[in-house]
Structure 1
């Protein structure tokens, strides 16, 4: 979990340096949670593959986080949500963040 938190902090910090002045976020944590809810079983298990619903959620997250500010908000939301799942596979979660935020 410690590695996940560090990964998220690094990503958020990187995104903050790319922020455009005056950019505001319009994405909410509820929207981010809805996108990633189907990924929780994969992120907390030790086997298997992400479901089609999980992949669809990642695609939706990519579509709703266009601006830097929206990506920053999504990173914060993911960080908050991850804190509630101590069994999250850190390496997979970190990869998901990179895919979702920087494609």
Structure 2
């Protein structure tokens, strides 16, 4: 179990490196939010330190409008693979990690102005 946690952490660190002038990828978004799955599915009562670190890193990796739209679509796509996601946990995740603004839900329109506020204060 410890080995899996260490490998997951290392994978997340590698995936969180955003090279300058490169668009964000769904792999980077997924890697940043992977530690949050147990919280988002109700297996944990609070997001872990690793989860919140991923949320903050993701916020820093999406400086442009196009990056934010891409990340939004990636999150929506990933969320569809977890039918047991808790809407309240997803809504509260940014604030629980100290990144208050609009969370992404399965119904979020990633092309609207409201998404520009995602993860930004």
- Structure 1 CA distance for aligned equivalents of residues 49 and 33 of structure 2: 12
**Quick check: 2:41–2:86 contact (8 Å CA) kept in 1?**
yes
Q: Paired residue for 1:15?
A: none
**Quick check: 1:27–1:74 contact (8 Å CA) kept in 2?**
yes
Q: Paired residue for 2:60?
A: 63
- Structure 1 CA distance for aligned equivalents of residues 60 and 81 of structure 2: 25
Consecutive aligned runs of 4 or more in structure 1 exceeding 4 Å deviation? none
- Of 18, 26, 30, the residue aligned with 1:29 is 26
Runs of 5+ in structure 2 lacking a partner? 1-20, 95-101, 104-117
- Deviation string for 1:2-41 (max 9, x for gaps)? xxxxxxxxxxxxxxxxxxxxxx970000000000000000
TM-score between the two structures when normalised by the length of structure 2: 0.59
Shift of 1:93: 1.3
TM-score between the two structures when normalised by the length of structure 1: 0.69
Q: How many residues align?
A: 80
RMSD: 2.2
* Greater RCO, CA 8 A, separation 6+: 1
Runs of 5+ in structure 1 lacking a partner? 1-23
- Structure 2 CA distance for aligned equivalents of residues 26 and 65 of structure 1: 9
**Whose helix proportion is higher, 1 or 2?**
1
The alignment partner of 1:50 has SS state of coil
